[in-house]
A and B are shown apart, each in its own frame.
Chain A
């Protein structure tokens, strides 16, 4: 509390409000975690703690396959979408006419997911027919499957979906960067790439890594576009949802969901703790150095 005249009870109330919001958001996840350790599964009267479902995850080929597909999609989408977003953010910073760039980059956010997914589905099907027809004209067949629904079409759909988020996250960290530093590096003899890699990237690295994490999480989270464009319900979210809708979730599905949540919380939590410890260490170092050293 920095305002000496602020009401301390109001301050505590704000904290309580924030905790309530976080608890409300996290309660369902915590509940899934709780169920995942119950030997009797969801809805049972008796709670018996067990690790069994976690052991069974690695025997459930459907879940493991889905996880593998989603991870592959997430990795490929991240490797393509984040550099594209980075280049776009740099273009935005350099451009004097910023509005068209922002509009173009954020446009996918304003299209509802099922409309974008079905539009892409129709587009890919037509594109596939066009290439097949063109291949027939040329008497070749290698183009026939270029835009058949599968991994690559899902990747394109997910890139369109995730790139606006990456763009915004990177742009926020770029906001603090001063272009004078790039010019100073150029004045020191660095070419454009070297100036970016040595000077700019270390300062926007946090944003780029955040964009990567965000993209991976979005790929795990996405259902509509993936189910329409991947062809077959075999990605992590589509498997979980189809299980839930058709047969109800299996205990190992709860375990798998919890495991993914545990990993996400551990990774993000570690980053936050590491950042806080480092920030504290840096400020202690700065205070220690603040004892004046006289220049000669």
Chain B
């Protein structure tokens, strides 16, 4: 007997969504495996919420397919899909108690009252709200309200939980705490979470995989660590982490690497399979924490292909780290980030400095 291959939880094929002349989603293809914590990350207005709501049945796709567990559900309304949703805010039913809110979906499903009460109480316990059952939503804090939403969604025992910026209305500390709670809950229940956010720290904390969505397109997707450490696209590098973006022209191509002319410096960069030709305009990215800073002197003045000269601008103290801003000869600003106080002797503004990095730290982007 051969076992059936496991169906992906969500498959989106060539999905388009138009609002009149505005194209909110353009030919999006995406596969999300069952049990994954998947994050749709991107700037506001990029289409990530539209994609989530189309998966959930709150929008009808203009063209393309949405498959949940292998079944085309494009024609089904939200109440007939195997998804449930946590909204950004204002989605609790204010006239019902917390317990009634959590049990609403079970009541709709026709479960006996006793079973509804038992399951709801158990789920409240799971999200840490035992003792709050008789309260009304307005008697809860923002974080507690979001936990009630989570309980209301998870008690339904659906395969896929959609989270539309669930932490956006919370303060920074609460958001951090809730991120971890969400991650632990997902690991505990094992269902598929699809989480929309514009906050990269939130995305990094919870995600198994991240997809970047901007201008209605799926820019790039992959494991959270890969998206951060090895962005393929320039947009990803600009949106995730603190990357220095440099634009230059290819001056030499040899084997696995090429040389790019940036602000008079000849920078060597690995091609990583990308096709480039001499004279082509390309982008380079390098994370600010991988850029070292030293005073320009005779000892380190040689052009090694992995450093660039500039003049020191200023430093910005950020607590744990300090960002050092350096102006290149072409006017572009680069940032070198280091652990605060690790640089004892800070350069003076206007002093010539050299920014340097390991050969594998810099990445090539070809559009």
Contact = CB atoms under 8 A, between A and B. Distances in A.
Interface of A: 178, 180-181, 183-192, 194, 198-199, 202-203, 286, 289-290, 293-296
Contact of A187 (B84, B93, B129, B136): B84
Contact of A295 (B91, B104, B139, B144): B144
B360 to A, nearest CB: 45
B79 A191 contact: yes
23 contacts: A180-B89, A180-B90, A180-B91, A181-B91, A181-B92, A181-B94, A183-B87, A183-B91, A184-B85, A184-B93, A185-B93, A185-B108, A186-B58, A186-B79, A187-B56, A187-B153, A188-B105, A189-B108, A191-B77, A191-B79, A289-B135, A295-B130, A295-B132
B324 interface: no
A183 B85 contact: yes
Contact of A293 (B85, B108, B132): B132
B90 A181 contact: yes
Contacts, number: 87
B302 interface: no
Given A183-B58, A185-B108, A295-B131, 8 more contacts: A180-B89, A180-B90, A184-B92, A184-B149, A188-B105, A189-B108, A290-B139, A295-B144
Contact of A189 (B89, B132, B147, B156): B156
B85 A178 contact: no
A180 B87 contact: yes
Give the size range of B's interface with the partner: 35 or more
B152 interface: yes
Contacts of A191: 77, 79
B305 interface: no
B240 to A, nearest CB: 29
A115 to B, nearest CB: 40
Contacts of A183: 58, 78, 85, 87, 91
A181 B93 contact: yes
B24 to A, nearest CB: 15
Contacts of A294: 131
Interface in B34-86: 56-58, 77-79, 83-85
A186 B78 contact: yes
Given A187-B78, A295-B130, A295-B144, A178 B91 contact: yes
A79 B125 CA distance: 46
Interface of B: 56-58, 77-79, 83-85, 87-95, 104-105, 108-109, 125, 128-132, 135-136, 138-139, 144, 147, 149, 152-153, 156, 162
Q: Which of A178, A186, A191 has the most CB of B within 10 A?
A: A186
B84 A296 contact: no
A188 B90 contact: no
Contacts of A296: 125, 128, 130
Nearest to B84: A187
A198 B108 CA distance: 10
Contacts of B77: 186, 191-192
Contacts of A295: 128-132, 144, 147
Contacts of B104: 185, 188, 190, 198
Nearest to A190: B108
B363 to A, nearest CB: 40
Contacts of B138: 286
A241 to B, nearest CB: 44
A294 B130 CA distance: 9
B108 A178 contact: no
A186 to B, nearest CB: 4
Contacts of B83: 187
Contact of A184 (B91, B128, B129, B135): B91
A189 B109 contact: yes
Nearest to A179: B90
A181 B84 CA distance: 13
Contact of B79 (A178, A190, A289): A190
A289 B134 CA distance: 10
Contacts of B78: 183, 186-187
A290 to B, nearest CB: 7
B107 to A, nearest CB: 8
A188 B156 contact: yes
Nearest to A192: B77
A67 B196 CA distance: 61
A296 B109 CA distance: 29
* 8 interchain residue pairs of minimum CB distance: A188-B105, A187-B85, A184-B91, A295-B128, A180-B91, A178-B90, A186-B78, A293-B131
